[in-house]
Structure 1
Amino acid sequence: METNVYKDKNKVAQEFSKFFSDLVQGKEIFHVALSGGSTPKVVFDVLASSFKDRIDWSKIHFYWGDERCVPPADDQSNYKMTVEHLFSKIEVPKGNIHRILGEAEPPREAFRYANLLEINLDRVDGTPQFDLIILGMGDDGHTASIFPHEIGLWNATEHCVVATHPESGQKRITITGQVINIAKEVAFLVTGDSKAEKVREVIQKEGNYDRYPASLVSPTSGNLRWFLDQAAAKGISLDRS
């Protein structure tokens, strides 16, 4: 595991964008699962403004690690956020964008999206393998859309499942633990001091860390990277880089 700590959210976005650009360099095709949230939004802005002409977007295929079950024009849609902050500002073939159909019937869409991953991605022991999965972490320690009250979904045999938000009851489609942990690279983007307690517990395996889905992220490749700002990292005692 590699932990990278930067001054603020904007610096996190800049450094992750450099990492992403370097990772894509030289690849003929690159499959990435995106995350929603405020930090990826800033990352997408940086990619669109500073890396628009430095990355060959035609080689990148975009997916999502999770999506709210809302139409694509809904303000809660991760897809809509990505269109507004990235896709509308770069040249990317429409065929390279593989969105989760949030407006579809959830169980059927979870099955369809799992099948899409199985078709499009190489598989390792039957599990689709992304080149990179980008994750966030909630204040409650959830990641993708696997929440503490449904932590058992992490070990689901399906590659995509329907999850339920613990407070709103909103349905979401999410990839599961086997897909996350088989990825070649996994990167957490976590900022803000509201995340500091869970960051400390998960990274340092303290307190109730094993109740948080984020603690279960452990790619078999060993390539797990945390991109944190100082506020989110204030509780950890690891060397800062």
Structure 2
Amino acid sequence: MKLQGEIQIYPTPQATAQAAAEAFARAAQEAVGRRGAFHVALSGGSTPKLMYAALRGLEVPWPQVHIYFSDERTVGPQDPQSNYHTAKVGLLDFVPLLAGQIHRMEGERDPAQAAADYAALLPAQLDLVLLGMGDDGHTASLFPGTAGLSLGGRVIANQVPQQGTWRISFTFSEINAARERWLLVTGAAKAPVLAQLRRGEGEYPVSQVSDPVWYLDEAAAADLPSNLDSAGS
């Protein structure tokens, strides 16, 4: 499948993260104005860390925000590899959120049961799912060649042999049911996959994300056609 959706390109990872943070604040304000709450799923990765730092200085209606996670490693909440832990130390500890507004995946539990329990607590529809993309084209914890690529439902336990572990992850059904999907992708290592997607080559899991907004830096977009607009220029 080809690279689909809206593409925004910024000079640096920091500029990309700042733009995504400002869009997050606007999306939260709009959702609260329309529906009284903002339900957003966060992801792991280096670019979200930069976005978390930027969000701490923006006006966000935090009392009406509910935080979820699109995937999680099978580790406890204090483990540095935990997506929840990354969000906690980078953002959640700095903003006025109550414990009941933060809904973490319990990676320390049996993955299948934790996935089923998480699916049960999700809202009917998420406003926004934030995603990254790995060098192999995976997104959330939906890796190439894994069973999770074709599973339905909302949240699954996905065995990832290339990582030697299980992960808890949203399905593509859940990701694509959200009102919006954003992919935050930075760094030169991501450029080959993006270029192949643009040409309609390769079979990468990320291509199953429907109509996303891509937040790219120039390094990730280096092999894309030069006529694409650079939003941060």
Do these two structures clear the TM 0.5 threshold for a shared fold by scoring above it? Answer: yes
What is the aligned counterpart of 1:35 among 38, 43, 58?
43
- Counterpart-to-counterpart distance in 2, 1:62 and 1:133: 10
Matches within 5 A, 1:216-231: 216-218=208-210, 222=211, 224-231=212-219
Matches within 5 A, 1:99-178: 99-117=104-122, 121-122=123-124, 129-150=125-146, 152-178=147-173
Higher relative contact order (CA 8 A, sep 6+): 2
Show structure 2 runs of 5+ residues with no match: none
Matches within 5 A, 1:69-88: 69-88=74-93
Asked if the contact 1:200–1:235 (Cα under 8 Å) also holds between the matched residues in 2, the reply is yes
CA shift, 1:205, in A, is 4.2
Asked if the contact 1:147–1:166 (Cα under 8 Å) also holds between the matched residues in 2, the reply is no
- Counterpart-to-counterpart distance in 2, 1:199 and 1:31: 28
CA shift, 1:56, in A, is 1.3
Q: 2:205 matched to 1:213? A: yes
Q: Tell me the secondary structure at the aligned position of residue 171 of structure 1.
A: strand
Tell me the number of residue pairs that the alignment of Structure 1 and Structure 2 aligns.
221
Q: Tell me the secondary structure at the aligned position of residue 167 of structure 1.
A: helix
Change (3 A) 1:116 1:205: farther
What RMSD in Å do the two structures reach over aligned CA positions?
A: 1.2
CA shift, 1:155, in A, is 3.0
- Counterpart-to-counterpart distance in 2, 1:153 and 1:165: 9
Q: 2:20 matched to 1:16? A: yes
Asked if the contact 2:142–2:158 (Cα under 8 Å) also holds between the matched residues in 1, the reply is yes
Deviating 4+ runs (over 4 angstroms): none
- Counterpart-to-counterpart distance in 2, 1:168 and 1:180: 22
Q: Tell me the secondary structure at the aligned position of residue 174 of structure 2.
A: helix
**% identity of equivalent residues:** 39
What is the aligned counterpart of 2:11 among 1, 7, 12?
7
